[in-house]
Amino acid sequence: MRADGKPDSLRPAARDGLARRAARMTGEGPLGDRGLAPGRALLAEGRAMARDWRLGPCRFLEAEGVPSEAAYKRRAMAEGRIMQHAHIGFRSVDRTVAAMAELHAVAAERGARIDRFGVTLDWTMGYPPDRRAGAARGTGIVLNGPEDFARITNASPAAAHFGDFMLGLPGALENTRAAIAAGATAIGNLGQYFTFRLPYWDDDVATTEATLRALGLIAAQEAEILVHSNLDDGFAGLFRDMASALGMAILETHIVEDLVGGRLAFCFGHHFSAPLTRAAFHAALARVTDTPGSMIFGNTVAYRGGPAENYASLSAYLMVDLLALSRQPTGHAVNPVPVTENLRIPDVDEILDAQLFAARLAEAAPGHAALVDPAAIDAVADRLVEGGRAFAARALAGLAERGVDTADPAALMLAIRRLGAKRMEALWGAGAGGGSAEPFVAADWARELDAAARDWAARHAALRPALAGRRVALGTTDVHEHGAYLVRGALEGLGLEVIDGGVSVDAEALVATALDAGADAIAVSTYNGVALPYARAVIAELVRHGADLPVLVGGKLNEIPAESNSGLPVDVTGEIRAAGAYPCHDLDDMLATCPVFRA
């Protein structure tokens, strides 16, 4: 092994490891592990740490005179006030701290109130501290210890939200201790536990144990600390039935609140596009939990154009959220995502514009309430709750039948993670109880991407005779699967065979899968910051094997240069092309640039 944890070569033992991981990804491997410590013992270890790691002071708690953000949320709910969340994605801690202070002050001067800030932590923070230095950086900030976390919690009088790459990953305990000491009372993201995998890290037992210890530490605090879970980052973003997503919320609540003794706050919204189902999911969630929510995230998948077009999407989802929260206060903050989000990491002025837009829209929202049909919303919510409760009950019973101790939070979490979203829904989703296999409420993302793939394939149907039978190995650099889902549907629509190369798959493993399957090309779907190094790694691995396959790379093709003063990413399309890969910005680009698609 090299110092960064990457293998020198893919030896037979490494291939065996790939086979074991592939079995887990399909839910066919063992659901338990004899090496996993009992959940009760892990929670006790975490609770014991509370003697030394207590909630520290921060500017938000002092300014608002509250013991926690949960108390602040309940106060706002009682006042009938809808809160606003702003997210900052800079790579520099200094720039992030300055932006929080500026945004809060300027927004207040202009009549808008930012109640909470989220920051983009780098994925390297998910590793244990001794593995972070050698890991490839992403586009987020790195916080080292309580002092760095305290810089964020004291940057403004708003609450600081530490979401991604905290809980649910192997570095969970160290990150949670530092956040608590800095006065943070909302820590996530539990949803990532079930889906995220860090490059070159496959020890899901260590990840589970770190997460349970961190949850024990949170639950032992005198103050109420919210465990944040973004459902879209977990299985909810992969289920084809929104009732299954609600069922997963019920399961997560059972784990955190019943088995651990903590409080679980949900976020949802990335992939909820249809106004009716978005409002209905909010109503359904309110029926299965009374813990204040963290935020309703923006429907970012609807951002497909420039700023002018994206303002239409912003107003569409934001009005739904404002009306839903007015009708049924749940403590969620609205999240007005800047209209440049699909183009680049938004700067301060773009974040401010979105916050001011949300504040003004909130003033206009009450006048639209009469246009809403509550009965229609409640009817869909009824179906969601019925299907969600059935899913959760069947899942717990089915796991118990498979030998999982469902009273042990560690064993239960590991089993769910190893089983995976697709297998869980196939076993216990709609139709599992002998009824109709049709979804209770079809997931917006799947319906939209299926339609896009069908339409694209129909436009290029003339290519089908020439392309039928060709094979493409498709993998993702991270947990974001929807781009790959679209590519798979489009290519299969033209008769190509798509080989599953894996999700969050290492370059060596993707190449091994492609070569073993006799693929004609490799396709990579990626997200922020890693496209170029990943493309280089795939090409280097092909060279090592003496193979020459076209490598397509699509998604967000950017990275933050090491010498960057702005902390914002730049496009690396040219660099990817120079490395010998084929950068693709859309499906048509893929057809035009890659030789495997030329008749």
Residue-wise pLDDT for 402-412, tens only, equals 999 999 999 99
- 40 and 181 in one domain? yes
- 450 and 349 in one domain? no
Residue entry with tokens 């879970």: 229
In a domain, 421, yes or no: no
Residue-wise pLDDT for 119-172, tens only, equals 989 999 999 999 998 888 887 899 989 999 999 999 999 999 999 999 999 999
CA distance readout (Å), 52 to 55, 172, 218, 333: 10, 17, 13, 32
Could you tell me the two tokens for 560? 């933050």
pLDDT at residue 15 greater than cutoff 60:
no
Residue 497: φ, ψ to 5°: -95, 125
The β-bridge partners of 186 are: 226
Return the pLDDT at 3: 36
pLDDT at residue 202 greater than cutoff 50:
yes
In a domain, 439, yes or no: no
What is the average pLDDT across 2-21?
A: 41
Q: How is 488-554 classified by DSSP, letter by letter?
A: HHHHHHTT-EEEEEESS--HHHHHHHHHHHT-SEEEEEE-TT-HHHHHHHHHHHHHHTT----EEEE
In this structure, the dihedral spanned by the alpha carbons of residues 83, 88, 94 and 95, taken in order and rounded to 10 degrees, is -110
Residue that terminates a domain, selected from 345, 377, 409:
377
What is the average pLDDT across 348-372?
A: 96
Number of domains in the chain: 2
Residue-wise pLDDT for 478-526, tens only, equals 878 888 999 999 999 999 999 999 988 999 999 999 999 999 999 999 9
Return the pLDDT at 2: 36
3-state secondary structure 222-256: CCCCEEEEEHHHCHHHCCCEHHHHHHHHHHHHHHH
Residue-wise pLDDT for 299-335, tens only, equals 888 888 899 999 999 999 999 999 999 999 999 999 9
- 209 and 109 in one domain? yes
What CATH number is associated with residue 537? 3.40.50.280
In a domain, 556, yes or no: yes
Question: Pick from 13, 18, 39, 41: which is nearest to 29 by CA?
Answer: 18
In terms of DSSP bridges, do strands 159-161 and 263-268 run parallel, antiparallel, or are they unpaired?
unpaired
pLDDT at residue 16 greater than cutoff 60:
no
What is the average pLDDT across 338-366?
A: 94
Residue 236 Cα to chain centre, angstroms? 10
Residue entry with tokens 């945004």: 103
> How high is the mean pLDDT of the chain?
91
Enclosing domain of residue 103: 31-377
Residue that terminates a domain, selected from 348, 377, 406:
377
What is the crossing angle of helices 275-288 and 307-327, to 10°? 40
The β-bridge partners of 162 are: 187
In a domain, 348, yes or no: yes
Q: Are 509 and 545 in contact (CB under 8 A)?
A: no
| Angle formed at CA 448 by CA 288 and CA 240, multiple of 5 degrees | 40
Residue-wise pLDDT for 204-222, tens only, equals 999 999 999 999 999 999 9
What CATH number is associated with residue 364? 3.20.20.240
Rounded distance, CA 20 to CA 30, Å?
9
pLDDT at residue 27 greater than cutoff 60:
no
The β-bridge partners of 263 are: 226
Return the pLDDT at 10: 32
pLDDT at residue 14 greater than cutoff 60:
no
Which pLDDT band holds residue 9 (cuts at 50, 70, 90)?
A: very low
The β-bridge partners of 119 are: 88
